Amino acid sequence: TKKKLTRVRNITYTVGANGDITPMIHYDPVEFYGMINTKSSGHSYARFRELNLKPNEVIMIEFVNDVMAYIKPANVEENMFNPNRPFEFIKNCPECGCEIEISDSGKKAICPNPNCPARVYARMTNMLSKLGFKGFSTETIKKLNIVSFYDFMTLSPERVKVLGEVNSINLLQGIEDLHTRNIADYIILGSIGFTGI
């Protein structure tokens, strides 16, 4: 395990397919094994409250299992004299503006709006991954403005041009393959969000 000290600069938020809001903690760059890290997941509302971070606070970044930069409080004297107030968790969804709800357990912050654009794009990203379309990021989904399974299956050559020539051809071929390939119904249903099938 490797550990380094750095300084908190900002917190942003992402919204998942189920509405879970995850804080992303931004800090001054730290390097582990040649990789530069500038942000780490704050994991959950409960973890955010537990960390109780202030702007410019010194924190410990721990590189766990060579795959994840994990944030821990740093026991340094400087933090005792930090005059800044702790970061406050957002009250409204950063994407749709809907008022955030806190789970009964107090562990999660949730956007309750099922039509929140961030939730829709996250669901689409999950769907394409389960259908075997590799390398489809949320940003690509946004660029194509795909909001449903039907929308994806009926993408036109004109709409996919934004991906560039090679990627467009590969995507359209993949969609055509999906039209003609025998694929189990539970895979289709699972990809669009049904579980326990």
Mean pLDDT for back-to-back runs of 10 residues, the chain (197 residues): 89 93 95 87 94 95 78 92 95 96 94 93 86 80 85 89 87 86 81 69
pLDDT-above-70 percentage for the chain: 96
Q: Is the pTM of this model over 0.75?
A: yes
- pLDDT tens string 35-88: 888 999 999 999 999 999 999 999 999 887 766 788 999 999 999 999 999 999
pLDDT at 80: 92
Side chain identity at 27, as an amino acid letter?
Y
Distance CA 117, CA 142 (A): 9
Distance CA 29, CA 35 (A): 10
Burial of 46 (0-12, 13-18, 19+ CB in 10 A): middle
Distance CA 86, CA 93 (A): 20
Q: What are phi and psi of 55, to 5 degrees?
A: -55, 140
pLDDT at 6: 95
